[in-house]
Amino acid sequence: MPLRSLTVDLARGHARQLLPAEVERDYLGGRGAIAWLLWYQLEPDTPPLSANNLLIFAAGPLAGSSGYATGGFTVGTRSPLTGGIAYGWAPGHWGAALHRNNVDVLIIRGEAPDWCYLLIDGDTVRLRSARHLVGRDTVATAATLSAELGGDVRVLAIGPAGEVGVAYASIVAEGQYLVEPAGTGAVMADKKLKAIVVRDRAPLPVADVARMQSVLQSIQQRGERHPTANAIRAIGSAGLLPAAIKLGALTSRDARTPADGLAIARMFSEIARRGGRQERGCAGCPLPCYIDLRTRTGETHPLPSLELIAGFGARVGITDADTMLTIADRCLRLGIDPAAAAAAITFMTEAQDEGLVRQRTLNWGDGAAVIAALDRMSQRREKRDILSLGVGEMQEAVWGSAAFAPQVKGLAMPALDPRALTEIGLAMATSPIGGDYRYAMAFEELVAEPPAWLPPPASGPRETEGKA
Ligand code: SF4
């Protein structure tokens, strides 16, 4: 069936259209449709931060069904960080709600005259003023719009970081799920689009219910038996941390020295023992990997992800549990990509060490300075904070720093060290979006025991066979 697109021009109105049948047939899933649209509908020299750039959201083919782990979405654009194609994605339920409103692909173009949000509710497509939401964080924005419009809406929003032009600002879905990697939030902000709200509806029917259930059951059974799945169920993506430490994939001081794996492991076990645990994984998922925990002062913060610990814990050297929980919360609320923020901070700390930057504002292991930097870059100021540029642009601003800037094609590298993980290194080097291995989901090396159902040769950390 041809994909159903909804195009919203933020200055002119909207239109529904069927894309040519070949897009659905030959370009599998959301990423494929986005690539096709950018190729055919975006002028070659369009600046990323301009009204003519496109911001395209697409849900996967199964989104909207009752199957677990199908409700997320992909978003693509021309990236202000790389000048090339950007993809980000988030799990959750927003993509499912989009599909349930008969939209496979949502194309945003133009620029609104003032801050607005988009509401999609069946046949109703409206732009409404978002003046009252400016300055609100992503969690508060989702809560406000849910209260105003009724609880059955799914909200994605940018936070204060996007509003003030942080280059690696993130979109956050449902006040819970960060869109990663970076690149798309800054484009949404440039269009003065604070949020996109979709009213949820009943699950869509599937053609062969029995077959779908049997596939979902078999995935669930595999997950029940595997130790890595059990670790992820207990502590989210940080369940891969012991393997990363063992393989030497955590490095510190902008990857100059091996990280203190013991200190990181101790901090994380302290985090994992915290009370007030609330699972907030995607509906029906047998592997709920998003978890909230309580800090010592009683606040609820998200469990830090693997990338956040590798970046702020190992690279920057923060080993205090509460500080790490606060950083995870700040990234979510301000709408900042954690991997890109950690890369910017490690890069700037090293530039200060090397005497390439005069002012000393950061030190290795100084969590308070990191939190202050995240807050500062998300506030409107006369002079733009250099930390808000992203590593690719920062290395151009700091003469002599290119050799130690953790970036590929302008996109920050997440902090798992590719020298220890060959598959991740290959993924970073070849990804079309820049240096982020998550484009290829190259996590097999961190799975302690390759699952029996993987086709041979089983992937081991030092193997090169079968990896490209
Ligand atoms: S809870 Fe985690 S594993 Fe489950 S679908 Fe969501 S992101 Fe995926």
For residue 167, what are its two tokens? 């280059």
**pLDDT for the residue numbered 307:** 92
Torsion of CA 298, 286, 438, 423, to 10 degrees: 120
Q: Where are the alpha helices (DSSP H) in 278-416?
A: 306-308, 321-334, 338-353, 367-377, 391-397
Does 366 lie in the same domain as 320? yes
Low-confidence ranges of the chain (pLDDT < 70): 448-468
Containing domain of residue 278, as a range? 218-446
Top mutation candidate among 70, 233, 287 for ligand 1, by most atoms within 8 Å of CB: 287
**pLDDT for the residue numbered 454:** 64
Cis peptide before 61 (omega within 30 of 0): no
- Which residue matches tokens 């959201």? 57
Does 182 lie in the same domain as 88? yes
In a domain, 380, yes or no: yes
Does 169 lie in the same domain as 266? no
d(CA 139, CA 157): 9
For residue 240, what are its two tokens? 């891969």
CATH number for the domain that contains residue 327? 1.10.569.10
For residue 187, what are its two tokens? 């484009």
- Which residue matches tokens 């609820």? 300
ipTM here: 0.98
Residue 271 in 3-state DSSP?
helix
pLDDT in tens, 36-84: 999 999 999 999 999 999 999 999 889 999 899 999 999 999 999 999 9
- Ligand 1 centroid to Cα of residue 232, in Å, is 10
Pairing of strands 105-109, 4-9: parallel
Does 233 lie in the same domain as 184? no
- Residue 350, classified by CB atoms within 10 Å of its CB into exposed (0-12), middle (13-18) or buried (19+), is buried
- Ligand 1 centroid to Cα of residue 247, in Å, is 25
Top mutation candidate among 70, 74, 222, 290 for ligand 1, by most atoms within 8 Å of CB: 290
Please, are residues 130 and 116 in contact by the beta-carbon 8 Å criterion? yes
d(CA 183, CA 168): 6
- Ligand 1 centroid to Cα of residue 444, in Å, is 17
Ligand 1 atom at minimal distance to the Cα of residue 281: 1
Domain count, the chain: 2
Please, are residues 271 and 205 in contact by the beta-carbon 8 Å criterion? no
Does 291 lie in the same domain as 244? yes
Ligand 1, CB cutoff 6 Å, lining residues: 69, 91, 281-282, 285, 287-290
d(CA 49, CA 155): 23
Please, are residues 336 and 412 in contact by the beta-carbon 8 Å criterion? no
In a domain, 459, yes or no: no
Crossing angle of helices 209-225 and 227-235, rounded to 10°: 90
Ligand 1 atom at minimal distance to the Cα of residue 285: 4
Phi, psi (rounded to 5 degrees) for 213: -65, -35
Does 337 lie in the same domain as 435? yes
Does 314 lie in the same domain as 438? yes
d(CA 259, CA 294): 26
Phi, psi (rounded to 5 degrees) for 236: 65, -155
Please, are residues 160 and 135 in contact by the beta-carbon 8 Å criterion? yes
pLDDT in tens, 408-438: 999 999 999 999 998 889 899 999 999 888 8
